[in-house]
Amino acid sequence: MRTGLATLSVLGLSTDALALERTIELTLTPRLCVLGEAEQECSGTVTVRWQAAAAINTCLFQEGLEQPLHCWQQTALGEYTLAPKANRSVRFYLAADGAVLADGQFQVLQQQNARRKRRNPWSFY
């Protein structure tokens, strides 16, 4: 019975170790663009950075596009800068062998007019 417990704990540790190796952190800088009232789309650059616990083969994709933006071979970190002309939020993701490893979103927000109309220029009270 002790052998069984030892085997389970070793299997548990190895499963956790595999999960740790698969952990990938993806960041976007900047993550947000606020359009003014007269602006139609965001301009400027977005930098996508990622880091993994082990060297992997992966590609960066933009949602809605079939072709990868950039690919890396046997590396544990990467960086890619692009200049999207975006009028809505855009999702970026890292994928390998058809599986999504990590993702992030570049949010586009439209600034609303802060002024409110008064309902009535007068009041009974």
Please state the domain extents for the chain: 24-110
The DSSP secondary-structure symbol of 97 reads: T
pLDDT tens per residue across span 89-122: 889 999 998 899 999 998 888 777 655 555 655 6
Asked if 76 contacts 56 with a C-beta cutoff of 8 angstroms, the reply is yes
Q: Which of 51, 121, 58, 48 is nearest to 95 (CA)?
A: 58
Residue 88 pLDDT level (bands cut at 50, 70, 90): confident
| CATH code for the structural domain at 24-110 | 2.60.40.2470
18 φψ region: left (φ > 0), alpha (ψ -120 to 50), beta (else): alpha
Q: Give a three-class secondary structure readout of 19-78.
A: HHHCCEEEEEECCEEEECCCCCCECCCEEEEEEEEEEEEEEEEECCCCCCCEEEEEEEEE
Residue 55 pLDDT level (bands cut at 50, 70, 90): very high
pLDDT tens per residue across span 42-52: 888 899 999 99
Average pLDDT, the chain: 77
3-state helix, strand, coil in the chain (%, to 5): 15, 50, 35
Q: Given this model, what pLDDT does residue 17 score?
A: 35
Note the residue count of the chain.
125
pLDDT tens per residue across span 7-32: 333 333 334 334 434 589 999 998 88
Residue 81 pLDDT level (bands cut at 50, 70, 90): very high
Place of tokens 């002309």: 85
Q: Given this model, what pLDDT does residue 101 score?
A: 93
